[in-house]
Amino acid sequence: MSTYAEALMSDVQTKNPAEPEFHQAVEEVVESLVAVVDRHPEYRSAKVLERLIEPERVVMFRVPWIDDQGDVRVNRGFRIEMNSAIGPYKGGLRFHPSVNLGILKFLAFEQVFKNSLTTLPLGGGKGGSDFDPKGKSDIEVMRFCQSFMTELFRHIGHNTDVPAGDIGVGGREIGFLFGQYKRIVNEFTGVLTGKGRNWGGSLIRPEATGYGAVYFAANMLETRDESLEGKTCLVSGSGNVAQFATEKLSALGAKVVTLSDSSGYIHDPDGIDEAKLAWVMALKNERRGRIAEYADEFSGASYVEHDPNLDHNPIWSHAADCAFPCATQNEINERDAKHLLDGGVTVVSEGANMPSDAKAVDHFIDRKILFGPGKAANAGGVAVSGLEMAQNSMRYSWTREEVDERLKLIMKDIHTATVDAAERFDVKGNYVAGANIAGFLKVADAMLDQGIV
């Protein structure tokens, strides 16, 4: 690391103690950008990087609600408004007990670069709560969402900040949040994306992140004259992103053999076909059950319980050609990365945000596999959110085919921008550096144009 990068990182660590995920995300970006700031001293003198790592605004608030037993519960709510140089803040809301300030800052920071890569005018933000929707009744989730929005509404707006879903926030939660916003503000606007189809949602928005990660993998494979057809794939997670990555992979002739949740993973050597995936979707989206049930339902499949004492994640030890981590951050460590490569994997496309830790990423890059970092590979979700905002502004809806075509084009453009930026800065084939550089340049130039703000 250069002295400049070292000084910057030391500052980040001192100013933001106990936020390891934020440090990790910043370090990866700063390492990629050293060559850029060396070549462009104007970014350095305007302290663009120093400003980028400081959120424009952080809102933290109390979320009181009443459970079905009549007891008062108190959660903590957050919204990180990271950067608005190229458009209104945009990024999901995460409801998960692990949520804290550092995790949301890492996600908001990554979102700035990702949104810039989509080619759409979107700034970066992220938010959420340590509320756990698991095991709560629909009415409890509604009460929580209404209380959360009763504070959040004053900080957001269709030209200011437009949240969407993330872990633990799907169509049900977006519905409750939107209903409460509309009730308080007395306005029907596109203030959230991921809305229901008949009240302003875009077709393909639920599918977009998973589909996009698969399109990105196909784009990477094309550079080696290969396709996804006939490839065996490991997918982690079994939520929104994992489900639609699996759907698109099967449609393109690949075979998905794993899925997981926070309790464990299933391995099905026969592949998770359309009918099995429909069963998983009903299990996860309607019955809200555990993935373990898959192995009872389908013969030939096995279930492995999550073991917190293991120093690796056994889902990544199965033989395969491609891996799509679609659950959560840091689910692939260096050991897992080695297992993946030993098992034959040559393509990793990150559906989740930062699922590979720093050493795993280094291993993928050293071994020159096709590694698509989340910032680029999972940008399809926010891209279609951007398309949802455009449709809301026009009060018009595009067809499923039109949105899917735009999504494919955007993923291709992101791939091209990433490859080109890597080449221009002498790191050919390195998608991590390419995505960081391409995402950075657009935001940095806008920040230079807008003065010291």
The footprint of ligand NDP (CB under 6 A) covers 96, 98, 165-168, 170, 209, 237-242, 261-263, 326-328, 351-353, 378, 381
The residue among 48 and 174 lying less far from ligand NDP, judged by its C-beta, is 174
Rounded distance between C-alpha atoms, residue 2 and residue 60, angstroms? 35
DSSP E strands in 329-447: the ranges are 347-349, 370-372
* Inter-helix orientation angle 334-342/358-366, to 10°: 30
φ, ψ at 149 (rounded to 5°): -70, -25
The residue among 19 and 261 lying less far from ligand NDP, judged by its C-beta, is 261
CB of 328 to ligand NDP, least distance (A): 4
Rounded distance between C-alpha atoms, residue 218 and residue 171, angstroms? 28
The residue among 219 and 385 lying less far from ligand NDP, judged by its C-beta, is 385
Rounded distance between C-alpha atoms, residue 117 and residue 337, angstroms? 26
The residue among 322 and 427 lying less far from ligand NDP, judged by its C-beta, is 322
Rounded distance between C-alpha atoms, residue 418 and residue 348, angstroms? 16
The residue among 48 and 327 lying less far from ligand NDP, judged by its C-beta, is 327
The residue among 108 and 345 lying less far from ligand NDP, judged by its C-beta, is 108
- Amino acid in position 215: Y
Q: Give the active site residue among 90, 126, 248, 442.
A: 126
The residue among 169 and 228 lying less far from ligand NDP, judged by its C-beta, is 169
* Cα distances (Å, whole numbers) of residue 299 to 273, 294, 412: 14, 9, 39
- Among 88, 239, 124, CA closest to 171: 239
- In sequence order, the 6+-apart residues with CB closer than 8 A to the CB of 201 are 193, 194, 195, 388
Which tokens belong to 402?
A: 């039109």
434 with 27: CB under 8 angstroms? no
The residue among 48 and 247 lying less far from ligand NDP, judged by its C-beta, is 247
CB of 63 to ligand NDP, least distance (A): 19
CB of 326 to ligand NDP, least distance (A): 6
Rounded distance between C-alpha atoms, residue 354 and residue 361, angstroms? 10
Identify the burial level of 275 via C-beta atoms within 10 angstroms of its C-beta, where 0-12 means exposed, 13-18 middle and 19 or more buried: exposed
CB of 35 to ligand NDP, least distance (A): 27
CB of 379 to ligand NDP, least distance (A): 8
What is residue 256's DSSP assignment?
E
Residue whose CB is nearest to ligand NDP in the complex, by number: 239
CB of 39 to ligand NDP, least distance (A): 31
Dihedral angle, C-alpha 93, 97, 98, 101, nearest 10 °? 60
3-state secondary structure string, 344-377? CCCEEECCCCCCECHHHHHHHHHCCCEEECHHHH
Name the residue with tokens 């969402």: 145
Q: Verify whether residue 428 is a known catalytic residue.
A: no
CB of 148 to ligand NDP, least distance (A): 16
Rounded distance between C-alpha atoms, residue 191 and residue 282, angstroms? 29
CB of 385 to ligand NDP, least distance (A): 8
Q: Which residues are catalytic?
A: 126
